[in-house]
Amino acid sequence: TAAAAAAVEVGGVRIARDDVVKEDDPTNNVPDTIFSKIGLQLHRRDSHPLGILKNTIYDYFDKNFAGQFDKFDDLCPLVSVKQNFDDVLVPADHVSRSYNDTYYVDSQTVLRCHTSAHQAELLRDGHTHFLVTGDVYRRDSIDSTHYPVFHQHMQMEGFRVFSPDDWSDSGMDGTAYAAADLKKTLEGLARHLFGAVEMRWVDTYFPFTNPSFELEIYFQDDWLEVLGCGVTEQEILKRNGRTDHVAWAFGLGLERLAMVLFDIPDIRLFWSSDKRFTSQFSEGKLGVKFKPFSKFPPCYKDMSFWINDAFTENNLCEVVRGIAGDLVEEVKLIDNFTNKKGMTSHCYRIAYRSMERSLTDEEINNLQLNVRESVQSKLNVELR
Ligand code: FA5
Ligand code: MG
């Protein structure tokens, strides 16, 4: 893969590669492949599907809330552990805090894993209605069987504060009032984007909201989760200058909505600079259906090794991604057994495929060779 630039700029803040990728620092787990995604800001390109979608959501809020929502779309994705987790009440022992799930720049700084990381500071700054759009980062596995899980995606956070005057005449308590307003607002948004669409609410859990819900839309014979939301925990409002108020919040996945709206079959296409992709979209045109250009065939390579206690699939995926970048489509466990000595063997099948061209045998063999070497040296496993 191409060497990453030395620095990028987000919202006027310069982020140097060497401040984010520190190979020899054990408190850092950010690879070059992730650094190269920072600063691309696809959601700020008006002719990119994610930019078109963001602008259409802005239109909905502008129209229905008379411009009350303040908009942020270039807040720096490097945030403190406090902002990302503590400020939104994520428990100290929650799995999402682990090095296996989150990219740490150092022990106190992460690449935000959700846009909720900005709730507290914006509240403290006095904002009562706001939208925050940005790239978020998670150490997921690679899986494209249905919806490809990816290590970066775009979220939009929405937040609205109510004061007692807003609900006092409604006959409801503040929480019920906010929950009803939240659902009405998001159902309206779904209709603004999709027209008629089948949707349903599912109860769920988030540390920062109660009650909490997910909205699912029916797409290609299946229910697809597009956002999480709920009534903000009182503690968050209290800590940030809004005692006696209530609020709702939501966080939606822009790619998931865009894939449905534009018929985009693979999440990796959003990062493509191929003209055959980018030229199909234009500013202000939501829902123009993407016409796939020829799909190149995948190539499969298997590798087997004895794992050790420290082995995790996320770490394996990171190593594979570090070598093959966006050419890797899937890493799948296809065999798993433990021998009499108690040693466990895993066999993984790696699918390589380019969105843009046909890969040569030589190129894939080289990739696989490098992947094997890197897996052995970085994960300390024994190849079979
Ligand atoms: C959150 O990130 C919460 N912060 C959302 C929230 C905000 C809840 C405010 C309550 C109040 P979750 O991890 O479910 O939740 O992600 C939110 C949305 O991002 C998902 O519904 C989905 O649409 C999208 N998303 C999550 N993971 C991925 C992924 N790997 N690829 C693409 N989209 C994703
Ligand atoms: Mg979820």
Which atom of ligand 1 sits closest to the CA of residue 138? 30
Ligand 1 contacts (CB < 6 A) are 114, 116, 140, 149-150, 153, 155, 157, 206, 208-209, 225-230, 249-253, 255-256
The Å distance, Cα 9 to ligand 1 centre, comes to 25
Mean pLDDT of 86-98: 96
Which atom of ligand 1 sits closest to the CA of residue 113? 2
Which atom of ligand 1 sits closest to the CA of residue 140? 30
The Å distance, Cα 159 to ligand 1 centre, comes to 15
The Å distance, Cα 212 to ligand 2 centre, comes to 11
The residue whose CA is least distant from atom 21 of ligand 1 is 227
The Å distance, Cα 344 to ligand 2 centre, comes to 32
The whole-angstrom separation of Cα 239 and Cα 13 is 28
Ligand nearest to the CA of 248: 1
The whole-angstrom separation of Cα 196 and Cα 290 is 20
H helical segments located in 240-274: 254-262
Which segment of 81-85, 222-226, 304-308, 354-358 scores lowest on mean pLDDT? 354-358
The pLDDT of residue 141 is 67
Q: Which of 147, 153, 189 to mutate to test the pocket of ligand 1 (most atoms within 8 A of CB)?
A: 153
Residue 273, Cβ density class (10 Å: 0-12 exposed, 13-18 middle, ≥19 buried): exposed
Amino acid at 221: D
Reported as a single tens digit per residue, the pLDDT across 129-159 is 999 999 999 987 665 444 444 678 899 999 9
pLDDT bin (cut points 50, 70, 90) of residue 219 is: confident
The residue whose CA is least distant from atom 32 of ligand 1 is 153
Ligand nearest to the CA of 206: 1
Which atom of ligand 1 sits closest to the CA of residue 212? 10
Contacts of 267 (CB under 8 A, 6+ apart): 144, 147, 148, 150, 153, 255, 259
The pLDDT of residue 4 is 61
Reported as a single tens digit per residue, the pLDDT across 56-84 is 999 999 999 999 999 999 999 999 999 99
What ipTM score was computed for the predicted complex, to two decimals?
0.98
Q: Which of 147, 256, 264, 321 to mutate to test the pocket of ligand 1 (most atoms within 8 A of CB)?
A: 256
Which segment of 205-209, 335-339, 354-358 scores lowest on mean pLDDT? 354-358
Which segment of 7-11, 121-125, 345-349 scores lowest on mean pLDDT? 7-11
The Å distance, Cα 250 to ligand 1 centre, comes to 9
Using the predicted structure, report yes or no on whether residue 353 has a pLDDT greater than 50: yes
The pLDDT of residue 367 is 96
Asked whether the CA dihedral 57, 12, 137, 182 is positive or negative, the reply is negative
The Å distance, Cα 121 to ligand 2 centre, comes to 23
What percentage of the chain carries pLDDT values higher than 70? 96
The whole-angstrom separation of Cα 261 and Cα 191 is 12
The pLDDT of residue 221 is 84
The residue whose CA is least distant from atom 14 of ligand 1 is 228
Judge whether 102 and 96 are in contact, CB under 8 Å.
Answer: yes
Structural tokens at position 65: 């809330």
